[in-house]
Every structure is written in C-alpha cells, then in structure tokens.
C-alpha cells in the first residue's frame, strides 16, 4: 500500500507544501499491542516546504513531524480555527493529531484531544457533519489485524 500525501500551506505563505506519510519496519512475528518503530530517518514522515523559487526544502525534523508507527494516510484541517492547517495522520499502531503552532512547528496533541484510535486506520477526513461551524473528524479503519491472527 502506498502512503498518504497532503498538499497544504502549513506556513500561510501562499505556496503549497508537501507532507508524505511513511511506513515503518514490521517484525514477523510482531507481538500484540506493539507499535512499529520508525527506526531511523529513512522511515520518517516527510514535510517539504516550498520555497519562493519553486524548489522544496525538507523541514521534517525542524517541524517535529518525523512521526510514529506505520503511517498510512493524512487529513488536513484547521480543527481549532486558529488560521493554521493541522494534520491528522492515520497509522497501524495508533493515529496522531498534530497541531500547527503557526511558527513552522507542530505539537502532538493526540492524547489531549482523545483521538488516537487503535488498530489499523487507513484514512481520515475533516468535515462539518452537524453544521455547527466546527470540523468533525471521520476515521476509516482497514482491518482488525495482527500477526497472531493470520490463519
């Protein structure tokens, strides 16, 4: 399965930036409740900032967007209406909500928001389902899966 990709303007400079979700090594067998670890930079998610000349700069580490778990999808939305787009990353091993701090960095607010999920989530979307002017989060799961229950 391929990773999720988001085109969004994380720093409000009028240019689209690129966020790429990346997986992580899976061990076989992998004990239940084990979250795959991003064991080095080659497994990090990536955030690329578009510069004025049209080239891109990797700002992943500076922005704090390396990620955790086996990433799958990403949804962009300004969930707190502060004018900066935030990211919700779906993954095997738990999802992450990253609050855009407006200074080029992001903070993991997953636990505070209570949106970690479990199992293997593949995609998500921000949408105002009830018309109250606030974004609601819809998360889709792939399967209830682990190495112990293959056959």
User: Which phi-psi region, left, alpha or beta, contains residue 94 (left: φ > 0; alpha: ψ -120 to 50)?
Assistant: left
* Predicted confidence band of residue 1 (pLDDT cuts 50, 70, 90): low
Compute the distance between CA of residue 68 and CA of residue 44 in angstroms, rounded to an integer: 8
pLDDT for the residue numbered 82: 97
Determine the pLDDT at residue 120. Answer: 82
Residue % of the chain over a pLDDT of 90: 64
Residues 6+ apart with CB under 8 A from 130: 136
pLDDT digit string (tens) for 23-70?
877 776 666 666 777 777 888 899 999 999 999 999 999 999 998 778
pTM value surpassing 0.85:
yes
The pLDDT score that the predictor gives to residue 96 is: 95
Q: Which segment of 1-10, 70-79, 91-100, 123-132 scores lowest on mean pLDDT?
A: 1-10
pLDDT of residue 146: 59
pLDDT > 70: percent of the chain: 87
pLDDT given for residue 150 in this prediction: 54
Two tokens, residue 30: 């992998």
């Amino acid at each position: 399965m391929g990773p999720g990709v988001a085109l969004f303007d994380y720093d409000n400079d009028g240019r689209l930036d690129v966020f790429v979700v990346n997986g992580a090594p899976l061990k076989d067998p992998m004990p239940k409740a084990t979250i795959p670890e991003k064991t080095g930079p080659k497994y990090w998610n990536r955030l690329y900032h578009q510069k004025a000349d049209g080239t891109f700069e990797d700002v992943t580490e500076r922005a704090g967007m390396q990620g955790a778990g086996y990433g799958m999808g990403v949804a962009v939305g300004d969930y707190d209406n502060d004018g900066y787009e935030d990211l919700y990353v779906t993954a095997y091993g738990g999802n992450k909500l990253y609050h855009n701090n407006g200074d080029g960095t992001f903070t993991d607010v997953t636990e505070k928001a209570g949106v970690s999920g479990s199992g293997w989530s593949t995609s998500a979307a921000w949408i105002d389902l009830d018309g109250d002017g606030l974004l609601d989060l819809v998360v889709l799961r792939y399967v209830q899966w682990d190495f112990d229950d293959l056959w």
